[in-house]
Amino acid sequence: MHFGNTRLLLAGAALLTLSGQAFALDGNDVLAKINATYAAQGVKLVATSVKTEGKKVTLVGAKIEPPAEPEKGFPIGDITLDGVDEADGGGYQINQISLSDVNLTEEGTTITAEDIYFSGVTVPGPATNGPLAAMVISDEGHIGPVKVSKDGKALFSLSEVTMSTTRDSDDTGLAFKAAFKDITADLSTVEDPAAKDAIQKLALTNLAGEMTMKGSWELTKGVVDVEDFTVDFDNIGALTMTYNISGYTADFIKSMQETIKAAAENPNKEQAQQASGLAMLGLIQQLNFNSAEINFTDDSITKRALDFAGKQQGMSGKQLSQTIKALAPLMMAQLNMPDLQNQVSAAVNTYLDNPKSLTITAKPPQPVPFPMIAGAAMGAPNTVPAMLGLTVKAND
């Protein structure tokens, strides 16, 4: 009985060992699946070696390179893939991808970046279904802090970059957002005398601010809706943009990627540029403009800019303001756009009297194909404001 139990235990151990081998993770296959997805973009991820330990894959000495010009590859160090599991369709689900810290120095300029990772990464396989099947998507991403210095003097920094993506339950779309936090820049090292003088008088020597972005993408109609894209700097102001376009489908992206790949692989660069230009013109016909808005909220930069520009013209900032108010209607009249002329003149007067905000909105009654906008701009530019439903307002 003891001998029989021993044989049973040995048989079970052998079975477990064979099963583990049958489902053992293949790090080279993970890399191949990643490259199969990015191949259409004309780039390839290569590694000096691939190490696999359980559910962990390490790409040693990794770099990104264009297949046609591998000598132009960009080294990115080791990449660690933790918690790698097989997924439906022959793809992979990766708990977290971590990159080595960046520390590059060239001609006295040093760039460092720490804590770089992407979590909840989906790598599609050859049989993965759905409109998002051809894309590598991560739930979250993080980079930072990031610093740039020259000869030991700090020029630029940010505390972190955060990114997140949320897929719809039916995989027909996704929502995204990103934030660049605690951005700082030191412009005191600018050497050009004219630029240096302007930076000092506009009080732009030390900049501090942030950038945020939020939006969604619905794949069926290819609707990209950027709800918020804001660049906000202290003592300057906040520039906020929103836009909505349609026609940016998965098929559109695939065609665009194939065009880029073909151009990268063509040894005749001039011919490749011409061919890709024509192809892109054809692709743009699939895109429609739905709406857009640009808003600038002033944080004291307008007055400093008027004072600086006025001094260049031998007058005060207030005098320059009055001159602009007088010239705006005359300049707009040359465009033969009476409705827009009145709006712009009123907005300029209101803003210069009390700088708070300027808003330009384009909201056509129905989607407008991009080629139609381009054609109108070249043939009958005075029809463009009405076509796009353009309005200009100040201090709303």
Q: For residue 298, what are its two tokens?
A: 């002033």
Pairing label, strands 56-65, 92-99: unpaired
Predicted local confidence at residue 219, as pLDDT: 87
Spell out a b/e string for 363-377, using b for 16 or more CB atoms within 10 Å of the CB, else e.
ebeebbbbeebeebe
When pLDDT is averaged across residues 197-204 and rounded to a whole number, the result is 93
More confident residue, 137 or 14: 137
Q: For residue 329, what are its two tokens?
A: 């209607």
Predicted local confidence at residue 14, as pLDDT: 41
Region of 81 (left: φ > 0; alpha: ψ -120 to 50; beta: rest) is beta
Predicted local confidence at residue 309, as pLDDT: 93
When pLDDT is averaged across residues 95-108 and rounded to a whole number, the result is 91
Concatenating the DSSP letter of every residue in 316-361 gives: -HHHHHHHHHHHHHHHHHTTT-HHHHHHHHHHHHHHHHS--EEEEE
Tell me which residue has tokens 């009123």.
346
Predicted local confidence at residue 12, as pLDDT: 42
Predicted local confidence at residue 87, as pLDDT: 87
Angstrom distance (rounded) from CA 45 to CA 365 = 45
Q: Is the pLDDT of residue 9 over 80?
A: no
Predicted local confidence at residue 68, as pLDDT: 67
Closest of 351, 374, 213, 225 to residue 290, by C-alpha: 225
Cβ pair 269, 277 in contact under 8 A: no
Angstrom distance (rounded) from CA 188 to CA 194 = 13
When pLDDT is averaged across residues 100-124 and rounded to a whole number, the result is 92
Predicted local confidence at residue 41, as pLDDT: 67
Spell out a b/e string for 293-325, using b for 16 or more CB atoms within 10 Å of the CB, else e.
ebbbbbeebbebbbbbbbeeeeeebeebbeebb
**Coil, strand or helix at 68:** coil
Domain boundary assignment for the chain: 22-102+116-139, 301-394
Pairing label, strands 92-99, 173-186: unpaired
Q: For residue 13, what are its two tokens?
A: 């151990």
Q: What is the DSSP secondary structure assignment for residue 382, as one 8-state letter?
A: G
Those residues with Cβ within 8 angstroms of residue 33's Cβ, 6 or more apart along the chain or in another chain: 90, 91, 92, 123, 124, 125
Cβ pair 62, 47 in contact under 8 A: yes
Q: Please provide residue 322's backbone torsions phi and psi, each rounded to the nearest 5 degrees.
A: -65, -35
Average confidence score pLDDT of the chain = 87
**Coil, strand or helix at 315:** coil
Q: Which residues pair with 97 in a beta bridge?
A: 81, 118
